Amino acid sequence: MNLTDKPHPWQLAARAEAMNPSAIREILKVTERPGVLNFAGGLPSPETFPIEAMRAACATILAEGSLTAKPSLQYAASEGLPELREWVASEMGKQGATVSPDQVLITTGSQQGLDLIAKVLIDKAAPVMVETPTYLGALQAFSPMEPSIVSVGSDEQGVQPEALRAQLEGMAERPRFMYLLPNFQNPTGRSMSDTRRAEVLAVCQEFGLPVVEDNPYGELWFDQAPAKPLLARWPEGVIYLGSFSKILAPGLRLGYVIAPPGLYPKLLQAKQAADLHTSGFNQRVVAEVIRDGFLDKHVPTIRARYQVQRNAMVAALARELGPTGATWNEPSGGMFIWVRLPEGLNAQALLPKAVDAGMAFVPGAPFYARDPDTRTMRLSFVTSKPEEIDRGMAALGQVVKQALAALKS
C-alpha cells in the first residue's frame, strides 16, 4: 500500500463526522449578554449549594490523622464508594423500590450514566424511543452510538400509552429501550401521574420494551412527593438514573445508575473503560455531607425556595402573557415551565428581540428529536429572584405583544 500520498493524518470516525455543535450551547451564547435576565439556563440556584457542609466535610476528610484522606485520593473501585451505594439503595427502598447496593454504580454525573447505557445497549441504527420533547443531553449521549431515535406521542403527562402501543405495533424491530423522565421533566416540567405510569408500563411490559428512567429532579417537589418510580414497578425492566447535582451541587459531578443484576457487569466494564472510577474524593465528601441526615433538612429549603419562584413566575406569566393567548403549565416541582406562544409566533425568531428587551429563554425546538413545535420555549424559574421574574416576564410579554401586533399589521 502507498499511504504517503495522503498528507492530512487524521481521519474522523463516521460518528464524529456527524457530530454537530450543541444547538442549545449555541443558543445559550446568545443569551449570555451582561444585564440580561437569564431564564434560559438549566442550572440549579447556587444559593442552594451546601458550602458550609462541604467545608466541614473536606476538613474532616483531610484532617491530620484522618483515615479517609489517603483512600479518598487513591485509585478506587469502579463500582463506587460502598457508603454511597448503600445510601442510594436505602433511599430507593423508601420510594418502594427494592434495590441492592450491588446494583448501584456511581457515575460522573448522571450524564455519564446515559453514555454508558448508550455504549452497552445501542447498536448502529437500532431504534430508541424518547418522549416528545425530551432532554437534549440524552439525545447527545445516545447519538455517538448512532441509534434511530423514535419520538413517542406525548401530552402534558408525557408519553401517551395509546400512541406508544400504536407505534410499537408498526415497528419492524423492538426498540432497545424507551427513555423517560417521569418527574418535572426537562424541558417541559411535566410529570407522569400514578395512573399514567401504570398505563405506560403495561404497554412496555406487553411488548418487552425496557425503560431508562432518568430522575434528576424528583426530590424537588413542592406539595407532595411524585408517584412511585418506574423502577419500583418493573425492577427487571428498568435502569434508573439519579443525581446529586440538584440536591447538593452539579460541580461535584456525582450521579448513579441502578441496573438489573444481569446488566450491571456490562455497565461496570463500560464505566471502567470510560474513566476508571468517579472521583473518590468527591464521593467521600458527599458521603460525609449526607451522613447524618443532612439532606432531610437541606432539600426542603431548596423546595421552599423554588416553590416561591415557581409561584412568582406563574403569576407573572398570567399577568403578562395571559392576554396574548400563550399557554403554559404549572409544574408541581423541578426547575422549568414550558410556554407555548400564540399561533403564528416562533420562539427561536423571538429570542433576539427578547434578549434586546432584557430577558432570555430557550426555544423549545431543539428538544424535539423531530417535528419540533416551534411555538414552545423553556423558562427556568430557579436562578432568578421573584422581582427579577416579574421584570423578565414583563419584558417577554411586551415582546410577544409586539410580535403579535406585527403579525396582524
CA 354 to CA 338: how far, in whole Å?
16
For the chain, how far is it from start to end, CA to CA, in angstroms? Answer: 68
Specify whether the CB–CB gap between 264 and 105 falls below 8 A: yes
Within 193-252, which residues bind its own copies (CB under 8 A)?
204, 206-210, 236-237, 245, 249-252
For residue 375, the minimal CB distance to its own copies (Å) is 28
Nearest to 258 by CA among 51, 106, 41: 106
Candidates 36, 84, 105, 141; binder of its own copies (CB under 8 A) is: 141
Q: Does residue 1 touch its own copies according to CB under 8 A?
A: yes
For residue 264, the minimal CB distance to its own copies (Å) is 11
Q: Does residue 260 touch its own copies according to CB under 8 A?
A: yes
Set of cell numbers at residue 88: 442510594
CA 82 to CA 225: how far, in whole Å?
27
Q: Does residue 46 touch its own copies according to CB under 8 A?
A: yes
CA 350 to CA 253: how far, in whole Å?
34
Per CB under 8 A, which region of 17-25, 90-98, 326-334, 384-392 contacts its own copies? Answer: 17-25
Instruction: Mention every residue, 6+ apart, whose C-beta is less than 8 A from residue 320.
Output: 393, 394, 396, 397, 398
For residue 118, the minimal CB distance to its own copies (Å) is 8
Candidates 35, 172, 223, 371; binder of its own copies (CB under 8 A) is: 172
For residue 267, the minimal CB distance to its own copies (Å) is 9
Cα dist. 112→152, 263, 270, 336 in Å? 24, 16, 10, 22
Within 146-165, which residues bind its own copies (CB under 8 A)?
none
CA 364 to CA 338: how far, in whole Å?
8
Instruction: Mention every residue, 6+ apart, whose C-beta is less than 8 A from residue 175.
Output: 126, 127, 128, 129, 150, 168, 209
For residue 137, the minimal CB distance to its own copies (Å) is 7
Give the strand order in the sheet containing 327-328.
327-328, 336-340, 376-380, 362-363
Specify whether the CB–CB gap between 353 and 395 falls below 8 A: no
Q: Does residue 169 touch its own copies according to CB under 8 A?
A: yes
Q: Does residue 29 touch its own copies according to CB under 8 A?
A: no
**3-state SS class at 199:** helix
Per CB under 8 A, which region of 7-15, 184-192, 305-313, 390-398 contacts its own copies? Answer: 7-15
Candidates 282, 309, 376, 384; binder of its own copies (CB under 8 A) is: 282
Q: Does residue 166 touch its own copies according to CB under 8 A?
A: no
Candidates 38, 103, 108, 380; binder of its own copies (CB under 8 A) is: 108
Tally of CB atoms within 10 A around 157: 18
Cell numbers 454537530 correspond to what residue? 20
Q: Does residue 72 touch its own copies according to CB under 8 A?
A: yes
Q: Does residue 119 touch its own copies according to CB under 8 A?
A: yes
Q: Does residue 120 touch its own copies according to CB under 8 A?
A: yes
Per CB under 8 A, which region of 9-17, 87-95, 365-373, 387-395 contacts its own copies? Answer: 9-17
Residue nearer to its own copies on the CB measure, 72 or 188 = 72
Q: Does residue 171 touch its own copies according to CB under 8 A?
A: yes
Q: Does residue 125 touch its own copies according to CB under 8 A?
A: no
Specify whether the CB–CB gap between 277 and 77 falls below 8 A: yes
CA 277 to CA 295: how far, in whole Å?
25
For residue 100, the minimal CB distance to its own copies (Å) is 18
Q: Does residue 109 touch its own copies according to CB under 8 A?
A: yes
Residue nearer to its own copies on the CB measure, 54 or 149 = 54
The count of chain residues that interact with its own copies, using the rule CB under 8 A, is 98
Residue nearer to its own copies on the CB measure, 19 or 225 = 19
Cα 112–chain centre separation = 12
Candidates 26, 32, 33, 59; binder of its own copies (CB under 8 A) is: 59
Q: Does residue 143 touch its own copies according to CB under 8 A?
A: yes
